[in-house]
């Protein structure tokens, strides 16, 4: 597997190259004309900081990447308080320290530790751009066949390629959630991160993206609404209809969430929770304690249940909000139809800003 990071200041706003129906157009994104016209706000979030640590080791015979979190530990982890929680990268202790997976070279770790703003994506295998996991050789061979040969420093153009060994899950959709959700763990010095699916191309400065989606809205986590579905109930039906995952596992997860207070989205009810199915191909985050906590919690739900992260998003967000009324996660859930564009087979055109 190859995880790809962007080291320079470029990012994306995606739209389709052509549309038959004007109503299909995604929302316009009026970025600033230049990074010279934006400035990071001082304390733009009226936050109540807390200390968040991560479980690094567990004493067990069979270490696993997500650790062995108990239900009691899981419940406590939803509180925005000083605490140490499970958040991937857990090593076992059995005489010697044992890694549970997602291993990086020390050279790559050192490079990633220096990133202040990170933009990341991932590519699996040789038959698909993202979701077909395979070996390092297959992934790099696929890149080479497309004319993308990493140089001596591991760069393909502006991208820095990082090869991951000892993948933590046999379900590679779960493995893909590691770079998607845990950017604050992979880039421990980074203050902001942007996640994009591999189908998207970067051309504009990531600071313009951060400014628009986070700073202007005083948000710490930005993700798009699903282009078609807005209720987890509908997402469950669709996942089973398309056989996206084992039906029994989906039912068990959904029943657990409903028993713990998950409510159905009702667009006609002004008091109904937000549209609770994300599209997920584009995520912008400030690495605040609350944003990092939410990312860990969401990852832990995927680790415990199914890899279909759209099933666990609403439950994780709403439970976190419910248990921390005096310290809510500042979420910006915006409208987009990037996934619909990809399904229709359109090439992605980039709305870029000239400097």
pLDDT one-digit tens code per residue, 162-186 = 888 888 998 888 888 999 999 999 9
* pLDDT, tens digit (0-9, with 9 covering 90-100), for 209-244: 899 889 999 999 999 888 788 889 999 999 999 999
Given a cut of 90, is residue 316 above it in pLDDT?
yes
205, 10 Cβ separation under 8 angstroms: yes
3-class DSSP state for residue 85? strand
Q: Which of 285 and 32 is assigned the larger pLDDT?
A: 285
Confidence of residue 282 (pLDDT cuts 50, 70, 90): confident
Q: Is 141 helix (H, G, I), strand (E, B) or coil?
A: helix
Q: What are the CA-CA distances from residue 56 to residues 10, 191, 255 (Å)?
A: 33, 21, 31
> Rounded to the nearest 5 degrees, what angle is found at the Cα of 182, between the Cα atoms of 338 and 115?
95
Return the percentage of the chain with pLDDT > 70, whole number. Answer: 70
Q: Are 284 and 214 in contact (CB under 8 A)?
A: yes
Whole-angstrom CA distances from 111 to 151, 161, 173, 186, 234 are 16, 11, 26, 10, 42
CA dihedral 203, 14, 144, 103 (to 10 degrees): 90
Q: 43-57: per-residue pLDDT in tens? A: 767 667 899 999 999
- The percent helix, strand, coil of the chain (3-state, each to 5) is 30, 20, 50
Global pTM reads 0.82
């Amino acid at each position: 597997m190859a995880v790809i990071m962007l080291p320079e200041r470029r990012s994306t706003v995606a739209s389709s190259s052509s549309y038959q129906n004007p109503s299909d157009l995604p929302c316009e994104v009026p970025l600033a004309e230049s990074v010279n016209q934006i400035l990071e706000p001082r304390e733009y979030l009226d936050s109540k900081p807390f200390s968040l640590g991560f479980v690094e080791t567990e004493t067990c015979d069979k270490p696993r990447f997500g650790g062995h979190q108990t239900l009691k530990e899981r419940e406590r982890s939803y509180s925005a308080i000083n605490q140490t929680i499970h958040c991937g990268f857990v090593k076992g202790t059995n005489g010697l320290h044992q890694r549970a997976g997602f291993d990086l070279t020390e050279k790559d770790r050192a490079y990633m530790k220096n990133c202040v703003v990170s933009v990341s994506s991932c590519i699996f295998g040789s038959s698909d751009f993202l979701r077909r996991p395979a070996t390092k050789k297959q992934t790099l061979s696929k890149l080479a066949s497309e004319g993308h040969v990493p140089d001596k420093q591991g760069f393909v153009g502006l991208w820095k390629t990082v090869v991951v060994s000892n993948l933590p899950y046999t379900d590679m959709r779960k493995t893909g959630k590691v770079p998607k959700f845990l950017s604050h763990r992979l880039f421990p010095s980074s203050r902001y991160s942007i996640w994009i699916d591999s189908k998207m191309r970067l051309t504009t400065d990531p600071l313009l993206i951060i400014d628009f989606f986070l700073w202007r809205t005083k948000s710490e986590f930005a993700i798009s609404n699903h282009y078609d579905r807005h209720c987890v109930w509908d997402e469950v039906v669709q996942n089973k209809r398309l056989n996206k995952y084992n039906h029994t596992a989906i039912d068990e997860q959904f029943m657990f969430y409903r028993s713990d207070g998950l409510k159905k989205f009702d667009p006609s009810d002004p008091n109904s929770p937000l549209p609770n199915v994300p599209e997920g191909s584009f995520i912008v985050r400030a690495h605040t304690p609350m944003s990092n906590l939410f990312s860990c919690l969401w990852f832990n739900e995927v680790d415990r249940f199914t890899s279909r992260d759209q099933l666990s998003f609403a439950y994780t967000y709403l439970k976190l909000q419910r248990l921390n009324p005096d310290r809510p996660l500042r979420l910006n859930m915006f409208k987009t139809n990037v996934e619909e564009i990809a399904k229709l087979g359109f090439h992605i055109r980039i709305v870029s800003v000239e400097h």
